[in-house]
Amino acid sequence: MKKILLSSLLAMATVASFAQGSINVGNCITTTRFPIYGPQVGSETVSTVGSSSLSAPTGSTVYTGGLLSGTRYAIEFWAGPSSATDFSGLTLITATTFRTGASATALPNGITLTSTLNVPGVAAGLSAKLGVKVWDTQSGATFDTAYSRAAGALFLSSPLGGVDGGGGLVLNPNWVGQSFSIATVPEPSSMALAGIGAASLLIFRRRK
């Protein structure tokens, strides 16, 4: 009986050891840099997406808004099973702010510090679906309430680090993503006023 109990405990410990895979979390990790930008000048309501000259790998997308800087802007890192198709299938891993540099158009603005964290529900050796959300904290306390925000596309990671199901050691992969600019969306109060105005106009037309 003692041998069975000991074997069960060892099996549970082994499962626990690779129950959650780990990943290097951040948007500036050697070959996977994707800085985040402020609203495009003249097109503030549209989020531009694509690699810029500061991204790694580099790209040709031109951003006219400055790189996000300091504690005013928040970024959330989300991850979950590879089968997830949107953020509802992901879990918030961590939230942080941006680094601050001397020039608004140069690094380290637009990027965050890196940390190594677990991805709940995804074992080592398996890939995870990744996504980031960014917003201006002066426009709202959370991403959902902010009117200056944007969410990046979802990406698939390399196999997560840790001890996989076969007992092998997998190195932590780097977070992957793509540069984008945050955009200005209508404030809830503005949308409500617009709705009231539209309803009033409809009622007025019916009365005529």
Q: In whole angstroms, give the CA distance from residue 124 to residue 139.
A: 38
pLDDT for residue 165: 87
Nearest to 121, CA basis, from 82, 179, 148, 73? 82
Confidence of residue 195 (pLDDT cuts 50, 70, 90): very low
* Average pLDDT over all residues of the chain: 86
Residue predicted with more confidence, 122 or 12: 122
C-alpha distances (whole Å) from 130 to each of 32, 56, 84, 177, 200 are 13, 17, 9, 8, 44
pLDDT for residue 31: 85
Lowest-pLDDT range of 34-43, 59-68, 75-84, 182-191: 182-191
Confidence of residue 187 (pLDDT cuts 50, 70, 90): low
pLDDT for residue 188: 57
Domain locations in the chain as residue ranges: 20-201
Mean predicted confidence (pLDDT) in 154-164: 97
pLDDT digits (tens, 9 = 90+) for 108-157: 999 999 999 999 999 999 999 999 999 999 999 999 999 999 999 999 99
Q: Are 67 and 37 in contact (CB under 8 A)?
A: yes
Mean predicted confidence (pLDDT) in 91-101: 98
